[in-house]
Chain A
C-alpha cells in the first residue's frame, strides 16, 4: 500500500514568492494533518481536516498560511508571501479517525526560503 505522499521533497525559493506544498493521504484515511518541524519549535500542528473539512487551524501561524482539501485524496498548504522564517520541514500525516490506529507521516517537504 502506498503511504502518505508529499511533494515536492525539497523546495528552495526566494522570499516573497508563493509556495505550495502538496499531500496525498493514505486511501481511506479521513483525517489529514499538516505539521511544521524546526529545531527551535519542534513538531507543531498547523491544521487538521476531518472528511475534507478543516477542524482545527489554531496552529496556522498567520494569514500568509492557508490550507485546502478539495477532496479526500489531496490537500495543499500554501504560503504567500513566503519569508525566511518559514524555512522548515513540513510534514503531512493521515489516519483513520474511527480507529485507534496512529498517524502515518509522509516523508516531508524541506522548505528553504532565501
Chain B
C-alpha cells in the first residue's frame, strides 16, 4: 500500500522561509509532486521531483531523497497569498499500475 505523512499545520510570518516535509511509504516509486490548494479552489501543480536533489521554481523549491523516502517543499519570501494547503503526492505503482496518491495536506498560515 501507499502512505504519506505531512504536518497538519504550519504558521509563519511574511518574508520568512518555511519548509513543509513529506515522508512516504510506497511499494513502487516514480516521483514526488507538490500541489497548492487555496480555500474553495482546486489543487494546482507546483513541482515534481523524480530524481534526488533540489528543484527550484522562483520562490518555491522542492527536494527529494529517494533513499530516505523523504521530500520537502521550501517556500521563501513568504507572502500572504501563500496561505493555503499544500499536498505532497507520490507517483507510484499500485496493484492496478501507475497512480498518484496524495498526502493529508499541510495548512500554511502566513501572518502579517
By a beta-carbon cutoff of 8 Å, the part of chain A in contact with chain B is 33, 42-43, 45, 48, 50, 55-56, 58, 91, 93, 97, 100, 102-108
Given contacts A45-B101, A102-B33, contact A56 B42 (CB under 8 A): no
Main secondary structure of the interface of A (DSSP, over half): strand
Given contacts A48-B99, A56-B94, contact A100 B42 (CB under 8 A): no
Q: How many A-B residue pairs have CB under 8 A?
A: 45
Tally chain B residues at the interface, Cβ within 8 Å: 23
Is A56 in contact with B99, judged by CB distance below 8 angstroms? Answer: yes
B43, closest chain A residue (CB): A105
Is B100 in contact with A45, judged by CB distance below 8 angstroms? Answer: yes
Within 8 Å of chain A (Cβ to Cβ): is B71? no
| Most chain A beta-carbon neighbours within 10 Å: one of B42, B48, B96, B99 | B42
Main secondary structure of the interface of B (DSSP, over half): strand
Picked from A43, A48, A102, A105, the residue with its CB within 8 Å of the CB of B48 is: A102
Q: Considering the chains assembled together, what is the distance between the CA atoms of A106 and B103 in angstroms? A: 19
Q: Considering the chains assembled together, what is the distance between the CA atoms of A48 and B94 in angstroms? A: 12
A54, closest chain B residue (CB): B96
Within 8 Å of chain A (Cβ to Cβ): is B58? no
Is B101 in contact with A58, judged by CB distance below 8 angstroms? Answer: no
A31, closest chain B residue (CB): B98
B41, closest chain A residue (CB): A107
Given contacts A43-B102, A97-B98, A102-B35, could you give 11 more A-B pairs where the C-beta distance is less than 8 Å? A42-B102, A42-B105, A45-B99, A45-B101, A55-B97, A58-B96, A102-B45, A102-B48, A104-B45, A105-B44, A106-B42
Q: Considering the chains assembled together, what is the distance between the CA atoms of A56 and B42 in angstroms? A: 22
